[in-house]
Chain A
Amino acid sequence: MIGRSVRRLEDPRRLRGEGVYVDDVHLSGMLHATVVRSPHAHARLREIDAAAARAAPGVAAVFTAGDLMDALRPIPIRLVPDDRLLRYLQHPLAIDRVRYVGEPVALVVARSRAAAEDAAERVEVGFEPLPAATDAGSPPPAALFDYTPDNVASLIEEGFGDPDAAFARAHRIVRLTFRTGRHTAVPMETRGLVAAPDRGAAHGRGRLTIWGPTKVTHFNRGVLAAMLGWPEHRIRLVEPEVGGGFGARGEFYPEDFLVPCAALRLGRPVKWIEDRVEHLSAINHSREQCYELALALDPDGRFLGLRAEMTNDMGAYLRTHGTVVPGLSAGMLPGPYEMEAYRCRVRCVLTNKTPTGTYRAPGRFECNAARERLIDRAARVTGIDPVELRMRNLIRPERMPFARGTTILGEEVEYDSGDYPHALAEAASLSGFPSRVRGEAGDGEAPDGKAPDGKAPGGKEAGGRPAARYRSGWGLACFVEKTGTGPFEGARACLDRSGALVIATGAADLGQGLETCLAQIAGDALGVDHVGIIVRHGDTDLIPHGVGSFASRGTVMAGNAVHAAVSQLRTRLLERAAARLETEVSDLVIEADGVVRGAGGGSCTLADLAAEPGLETVHYFRCERMAYSHGVAVARVRVDTATGLVVPERIWLLYDVGRVVNPGLVAGQIEGGIAQGLGGALLEELRYDDAGQFLSGSFMDYLLPGTTDVPSIVHRDLGGSPSPRNPLGVKGAGEVGIAGIGGAIANAVADALGDAEGDSDRLPLTSERVWARARAMEAAGSPGSPRAPGAPAAGAGAAAPA
């Protein structure tokens, strides 16, 4: 059962249109809400006049901060809470100041969404605009919070060893400035909520039921209960079908309080479905980081030390992730390489932009890209082939478990297993990665200087010699992924009266195939076919404790909980069967169809055994240390230097995610992750102007990759290193696809166009940026011209300590 690419159990109902998503929830008497949002990046909030809106046709209520003042509490940090960060939290409605375009200032509830939107236009809000801080890297023109004039919410320091000593000994120091753009996850389905109070709920009787939360329903129930001052058992959160999460969807947002609160005050069900325009400025943004890196190398190209100064643009408030994303970057930047010393300092800077949080491979998409660009630059400067340079520095398998010396999510990083050099060797040979020893031929030039279709010969002359218009480039990135974050996840297992195995868990299905995966694990543990197994999840009434689905933890945490709960159930059930068939447990087998047979020929069905109550088990799996997957991403691109267009021609991804439950599901994660990674590397960018106006409010402005933007993908499971940290030996696979793509693409473009210390790198590599870079390279000399091995480029601070 485990290890087979069985079809997903959840697909038929979804493909037939029978899945119930939050917008499919229709209740009698239901009202519809819309959020009035700030059009200003930064402004004092004066009076709000909602009289005209309240008088508009079909309006049930308008709630402003003034109306809810007694109930407004800041939204707490979910991951790694820190008291010092409390003063930067967001309230569900802005109280006296708005700090980003899209910040909620009022909620309008009416008989239809259209009526609510009509009325929302009549809410008069007095704004007194203030200067906006939009660039985390420069001195701020305005403070978001008066008590923090520099807008620095937090400083993170991370590291090990003695970097001063390492840099003092350096034979060569290579530097890089690298930026990643502001992205967001953009799940296919936007957020949405339906909150329905029982009769009397407003008066302290009955319960409140909410459809639409996902990812971390138990945590969100606790937050809402605390905000309302209710005991948790009076609140039920139900996760319907979900059209993708990717880290952003399902956190506790302002609307997660406003909609239930409105329902309670009105005593009627209230629905709110986020539309795409509000989505892009309301859901967590992510990724906007700037790295200043320095790598110290010895004469053989061994890494002595790595120094990093990083700025993370946090947006206007700290949301449920606090400073987890920059913390993950700081803790994971050293990646899969040995080094004596590492020091990273991160400034977490508040700006007048949408607050940030996690997005698939949070902090690692960014830091992997920065580190791998740095290594390619080091290869160029030292004249060592980039694969060889990495080989010399990768952590060898005999060093496992490997104490990284950094901390993430409050836990010391210790890689559990994996053969990193093997993965790189396989990646280089499978992709045919060309040697890039400088001075050799084949330096980033397409053989005939033409597009593969043979069309459009550019024939531009540069400096009197023909330069190829179309240039090809190769890039790769090695990475380690943290997965299976604790602290626990639970599963209940029972046989219902028909003999069917029913599983309940607090983990969530965001479309990744959790039901199928857990059914496979359960079937394997019990010894029956997975198809008849029922997996229930996403309802806080199912199980008292749950953590949820994020951080590539579903298979590791819920999977092991299911495995243990069902194994215990099997023991009990076999004891019962042994008594019934008057034989020994060791003589019994459970067949795939659920018939238990004894050696003596007697048999009974699971339904027979389940006729009497008591076949129920619960197990909470706890894990003190995470499991670490790893992999290598390789990209081959073609760059049109005349237009700057970068076409990824092929992506290879080799990965080791421990024991694989369902290769098909893993493939889905890998391919989807690669597509999202290409979006972040080449297309997607949430932009603001200098005044903090949001410029990316539609899909005409925020470009997602479509099918035609995703090239052929070759991926391979290297297997080989089950995790020793859980009984199933599994590791997470959800973020492995995306983690190395930014670095592979950035390296491929630098390979195609040439690279020199001093110029700055950034993602996404939009056509205009690439064109500008191609022009600069052309102006500086022939693009991508081979450089003598070891000769530092102009401006390289060779051997100067940082």
Chain B
Amino acid sequence: MKPAPFAYRDPDTVDEVLALLAEHGDDAKLLAGGQSLGPMLNMRVVSPAVVVDLNRVKALAGRGGSASGGFVIGALVRQADLEDDPAFAAAQPLAAAALPFIAHRPIRNRGTVAGSLVHADPAAEWGGVVLALDARIEVRQAGGASPRTVAAEDFFTGILETAVEPDELLAEIRLPPWPEDARWGFREFARRRGDFALAGVACRFEVDGAGGGRSVRIGLFGVGDTAVRARRAEAVLEGETPGPEVFAAAAAAVQDEVEPLDDGHASAGYRRHLAGVLVEDALADAWARNGGDEGEAA
């Protein structure tokens, strides 16, 4: 379990990073927290000619509230930085709730949000979270081309594949402002705490003046090639009065629409079933979180 030989570069600026990517393209791999890249190198699943270490690029380490009320996460922000940040928990309760489910603390100490997104494990929590939040992802490229912004729903293109090209850098993740009275739920199922989930869901919705669900977002992970939005289940709740029957109907819709994979960890049928159970539970959590029906009055 030793990596194949590679050259190591540790630039200081984003421009240098982009120049190295332009030079080496496919032959280069960016190193952020190394929690996915490290094992892949050691197992020789990847053998890049050049490893470009991002860790000295201070400009990528920023995080905080944006002018528009959203939250910006730089490419070098560690999962643990967010976990320990009360401002993040206040600003983004759904994303904050997902953090403790990601691996174990020592991995979160190094692992970055950007690294998780680009690695694009279908079972990574952040996949479901960015979909549920309508996050936008800023990607940069050498040659002065202006940064492009990718919507979360266009980001994941396949197993371990994203809209980020080999010569591109994911610069930051932008989470939109959290609507004051949005309700949210986060559920996942793993056989052991800290493992990649067999299935999971991040969801949120608001309640309109007539008491119906609005802006429903259900982001699923672990139940297909990529994280996906459960659009049919979202439609079930949209405009309907939240409650156990609707949640059960949404769960049934999810079980209908997902296309999970059969693998060594779980069969497709089991994952499909779990997706429904988790969606139903997560919606119920969301509803209960603001006091259910009474929540409206409060």
User: What residues make up the interface of A, taking CB atoms closer than 8 Å to B?
Assistant: 113-114, 117-118, 121, 275-277, 455-459, 642-645, 683, 687, 695-696, 700-701, 703, 705-706, 708-709, 766-768, 771-772
Q: Are B281 and A456 in contact, with the CB atoms below 8 A? A: yes
Q: Are A118 and B264 in contact, with the CB atoms below 8 A? A: no
> Please, how many angstroms separate the alpha-carbon atoms of A114 and B265 in the complex?
31
Q: Are B266 and A643 in contact, with the CB atoms below 8 A? A: no
Q: Are A114 and B196 in contact, with the CB atoms below 8 A? A: no
Which residues of chain A have C-beta atoms less than 8 A from B192's C-beta?
683, 703, 705-706, 708-709
> Please, how many angstroms separate the alpha-carbon atoms of A117 and B281 in the complex?
48
> Please, how many angstroms separate the alpha-carbon atoms of A113 and B274 in the complex?
43
Query: Which B residues, 176 to 192, have Cβ-Cβ distances below 8 Å to chain A?
Result: 189, 191-192
Q: Are A768 and B270 in contact, with the CB atoms below 8 A? A: yes
B interface residues, how many (CB within 8 angstroms): 27
| Contact for A706 among B193, B273, B285, CB less than 8 A | B193
Q: Are B3 and A114 in contact, with the CB atoms below 8 A? A: yes
**Residues A118 and B191 in contact in the complex (CB < 8 Å), given A642-B277, A701-B264, A768-B270:** no
Which residues of chain A have C-beta atoms less than 8 A from B1's C-beta?
117, 275-277
> Please, how many angstroms separate the alpha-carbon atoms of A772 and B267 in the complex?
11
Which residues of chain A have C-beta atoms less than 8 A from B194's C-beta?
706, 708
Decide yes or no whether B144 CB sits under 8 A from chain A.
Answer: no
Which residues of chain A have C-beta atoms less than 8 A from B3's C-beta?
114
A88–chain B nearest beta-carbon distance, Å: 29
5 contacts between A and B (CB under 8 A): A114-B3, A121-B44, A642-B277, A706-B193, A771-B273
Q: Are B281 and A700 in contact, with the CB atoms below 8 A? A: no
Q: Are B264 and A459 in contact, with the CB atoms below 8 A? A: no
Which residues of chain A have C-beta atoms less than 8 A from B267's C-beta?
768
Q: Are A695 and B191 in contact, with the CB atoms below 8 A? A: no
> Please, how many angstroms separate the alpha-carbon atoms of A221 and B69 in the complex?
71
Query: Which B residues, 1 to 57, have Cβ-Cβ distances below 8 Å to chain A?
Result: 1-5, 43-44
Which residues of chain A have C-beta atoms less than 8 A from B265's C-beta?
701
B198–chain A nearest beta-carbon distance, Å: 8
> Please, how many angstroms separate the alpha-carbon atoms of A703 and B196 in the complex?
12
Decide yes or no whether B195 CB sits under 8 A from chain A.
Answer: yes
Query: Which B residues, 147 to 179, have Cβ-Cβ distances below 8 Å to chain A?
Result: none
B84–chain A nearest beta-carbon distance, Å: 21
Q: Are B196 and A117 in contact, with the CB atoms below 8 A? A: no
Decide yes or no whether B244 CB sits under 8 A from chain A.
Answer: yes
| Contact for A118 among B4, B195, B270, CB less than 8 A | B4
Which residues of chain B have C-beta atoms less than 8 A from A121's C-beta?
4, 44
Which residues of chain B have C-beta atoms less than 8 A from A695's C-beta?
264
> Please, how many angstroms separate the alpha-carbon atoms of A709 and B277 in the complex?
22
> Please, how many angstroms separate the alpha-carbon atoms of A136 and B22 in the complex?
55
**Residues A645 and B277 in contact in the complex (CB < 8 Å), given A276-B1, A701-B264, A768-B267:** no
Kindly report which residue of chain A lies nearest to residue B5, judged by CB atoms. A118
Which residues of chain B have C-beta atoms less than 8 A from A459's C-beta?
244
User: What residues make up the interface of B, taking CB atoms closer than 8 Å to A?
Assistant: 1-5, 43-44, 189, 191-196, 198, 244, 264-267, 270, 273-274, 277, 281, 284-285
| Contact for B193 among A277, A455, A708, A768, CB less than 8 A | A708
Which residues of chain B have C-beta atoms less than 8 A from A703's C-beta?
191-192, 195
> Please, how many angstroms separate the alpha-carbon atoms of A32 and B3 in the complex?
15
Q: Are B43 and A687 in contact, with the CB atoms below 8 A? A: no
Kindly report which residue of chain B lies nearest to residue A57, judged by CB atoms. B5
Q: Are A643 and B5 in contact, with the CB atoms below 8 A? A: no
Which residues of chain B have C-beta atoms less than 8 A from A701's C-beta?
264-265
| Contact for B264 among A455, A644, A687, A709, CB less than 8 A | A687
> Please, how many angstroms separate the alpha-carbon atoms of A773 and B284 in the complex?
26
B66–chain A nearest beta-carbon distance, Å: 34
| Contact for A700 among B195, B198, B270, CB less than 8 A | B195
> Please, how many angstroms separate the alpha-carbon atoms of A276 and B193 in the complex?
21
Which residues of chain A have C-beta atoms less than 8 A from B4's C-beta?
118, 121
Q: Are B189 and A643 in contact, with the CB atoms below 8 A? A: yes
B250–chain A nearest beta-carbon distance, Å: 15
Q: Are A645 and B43 in contact, with the CB atoms below 8 A? A: no
Q: Are A645 and B281 in contact, with the CB atoms below 8 A? A: no
Which residues of chain B have C-beta atoms less than 8 A from A706's C-beta?
192-194
> Please, how many angstroms separate the alpha-carbon atoms of A398 and B6 in the complex?
72
> Please, how many angstroms separate the alpha-carbon atoms of A100 and B272 in the complex?
34
Q: Are B193 and A683 in contact, with the CB atoms below 8 A? A: no
> Please, how many angstroms separate the alpha-carbon atoms of A687 and B5 in the complex?
32
> Please, how many angstroms separate the alpha-carbon atoms of A706 and B194 in the complex?
10
Q: Are B270 and A114 in contact, with the CB atoms below 8 A? A: no
Which residues of chain B have C-beta atoms less than 8 A from A645's C-beta?
189, 191
Which residues of chain B have C-beta atoms less than 8 A from A644's C-beta?
270
| Contact for B191 among A277, A456, A767, A772, CB less than 8 A | A767
**Residues A700 and B191 in contact in the complex (CB < 8 Å), given A275-B1, A277-B1, A459-B244:** no
Which residues of chain B have C-beta atoms less than 8 A from A456's C-beta?
281, 284-285
| Contact for A683 among B5, B191, B196, CB less than 8 A | B191
> Please, how many angstroms separate the alpha-carbon atoms of A700 and B1 in the complex?
16
Apart from A459-B244, A766-B191, A771-B270, list 14 A-B contacts with CB within 8 A: A117-B44, A118-B5, A121-B4, A275-B1, A456-B285, A457-B284, A644-B270, A645-B191, A767-B189, A767-B191, A767-B198, A768-B266, A768-B267, A771-B273
Which residues of chain B have C-beta atoms less than 8 A from A114's C-beta?
2-3, 5
> Please, how many angstroms separate the alpha-carbon atoms of A303 and B37 in the complex?
59
Kindly report which residue of chain B lies nearest to residue A32, judged by CB atoms. B2
Kindly report which residue of chain B lies nearest to residue A699, judged by CB atoms. B195
Kindly report which residue of chain A lies nearest to residue B281, judged by CB atoms. A456
A216–chain B nearest beta-carbon distance, Å: 28
Q: Are A643 and B264 in contact, with the CB atoms below 8 A? A: no
Which residues of chain B have C-beta atoms less than 8 A from A708's C-beta?
192-194
> Please, how many angstroms separate the alpha-carbon atoms of A457 and B288 in the complex?
11
| Contact for A277 among B5, B43, B195, B264, CB less than 8 A | B43
Kindly report which residue of chain B lies nearest to residue A709, judged by CB atoms. B192
A687–chain B nearest beta-carbon distance, Å: 6
